[in-house]
Amino acid sequence: MTAHMTPDEFRRYGREVIDWIADYYENVESLPVLSQVAPGDIRAALPSDPPEHGEPFEAVLRDLDDVLLPGITHWQHPSFFGFFPANASGPAILGDLLASGLGVQGMLWATSPSATELETHVLDWFATLLDLPSTFRSSGSGGGVIQHSASDAALVALIAALHRVSGGRTEREGVGSGRYAVYTSEQTHSSVEKACRVAGLGADALRKIPVDPATLAVQPTLLREAIETDVRRGVTPALVVASIGATGTGAIDPVGELADIAHQHGAWLHVDAAWAGVAAVAPEFRWINDGVGRADSYCTNPHKWLLTNFDCDAFWVADRAALVGALSILPEYLRNAATESGAVIDYRDWHVPLGRRFRALKLWAVIRWYGAEGLREHVRGHVALAQEFASWVAADDRFELLAPHPLALVTFRLRAGDEATRALMERVNSSGELYLTHTVVDGKVALRMAIGGTLTESRHVQAAWQLLSSP
């Protein structure tokens, strides 16, 4: 007999792991944020061969502490200000644990109806929380689905756009060469270029539209020109990706205007609001979503700034038929009465993989634990901290702000130049006290202070400014 972990052992080790995690959160602030190991250090401490005989679970926990922990960069540290945050929270961790425990696979409605129906329902709830337009609700022609990441969402939006713009030809005949073009801000995330490469268009199909130097948002007239140039050359505009909260600087594109231009030429408008979109839980930030009612798809990531562990990208489409048309294949071994009745959603047709976890459980647990009220407070608190931080930067002659900062990302630099700014970043990051990352704005190296950790409080932001501003 295989020596499975018995339910009693699971209770015992489960408690140890729960306690390990609780201890971790109680102590994480005392750890260096950025791991200081060198390449190969971790592997050198691991046995070269797998064990022949099973080991007690204590051995795993011991090596976690002794071997792995020094090689962890602590994304849950309250002084982690790099990239964008990757929020974890108690209810999300436990929701995900329940999904692991149930171990169901929701590729079809029939393979666990609750997994599908809860996901549809929670994404309707979430659309309500963000006050997203009715076009994205499942009661009409749209609906939501959880993708792993915004990169997956961009890819899927592109596939659906190609399906629609080609009248269903691309999934049979392919995308051809130089036939279709994709447009996005020069500030947009690399995911759009990756999607063009993966979807077979190639990077040459991507038009990076210059931004307004003041707002760092796409200039609609330049988008229009690029599209018209393509149309004259016989290239079909397939997809425009607008950003709400671009990765480098947090720039917010004029979505409504871009949608109108896209639609005049038959293209799909996808909104990547991966980081910033969740801010719309608070009414005072809903202006960021102006124009989203004219978008064809929209994504935002609770796993970034809304207390839900990675991975959880909420993705909505206004026309689910385009998505399903692009991705549906029904081999015999997946046929079943519910699918053939047409009365159910089979989420395998809404993304690239076939199999899927019970993805909605953790988002459901988060929304219920915090309520709309708690989610608003979470976002508001970080925006207020970022505004305070920006005011300190603005008041210090040695520094300058480099981009608008209406939410919780502040982009700034030393006036002394690129080298001094990089040196500052290296100094603070190697201290272990905090971690922040950089970008380039208008040719200048800039630091990005992304405030949004689950545990980040005022004192952490104050300490960060102390460290950054002391010579």
**Strand-strand pairing, 437-441 and 444-450:** antiparallel
Q: Which two tokens stand for residue 79?
A: 């002084």
Residue 395 CB, nearest approach to its own copies (Å):
26
Please identify, using beta-carbon distances, which residue of 252 and 259 lies nearer to its own copies.
252
**Burial state string for 245-283 with b = 16 or more CB within 10 A and e = fewer than 16:** bbbbbbbbbbbbbbbebbeebebbbbbbbbbbbbbbbbe
Please identify, using beta-carbon distances, which residue of 164 and 356 lies nearer to its own copies.
356
Type of residue found at 460: H
Q: Do the beta carbons of residue 289 and residue 132 sit within 8 Å?
A: yes
The CA–CA distances, whole Å, from 248 to 139, 215, 425 equal 36, 13, 16
The contacts of residue 287 (CB under 8 Å, 6+ apart) are none
Residue 303 CB, nearest approach to its own copies (Å):
8
Please identify, using beta-carbon distances, which residue of 147 and 224 lies nearer to its own copies.
147
Residue 27 CB, nearest approach to its own copies (Å):
10
Residue 356 CB, nearest approach to its own copies (Å):
8
Please identify, using beta-carbon distances, which residue of 187 and 224 lies nearer to its own copies.
187
The CA–CA distances, whole Å, from 158 to 161, 287, 307 equal 5, 26, 28
Please identify, using beta-carbon distances, which residue of 21 and 264 lies nearer to its own copies.
21
Degrees to nearest 5, angle at CA 222 with 317 and 153: 25
Q: Do the beta carbons of residue 190 and residue 246 sit within 8 Å?
A: no
Please identify, using beta-carbon distances, which residue of 172 and 233 lies nearer to its own copies.
172
DSSP state of 184: E
DSSP state of 456: -
Please identify, using beta-carbon distances, which residue of 199 and 259 lies nearer to its own copies.
199
Residue 397 CB, nearest approach to its own copies (Å):
26
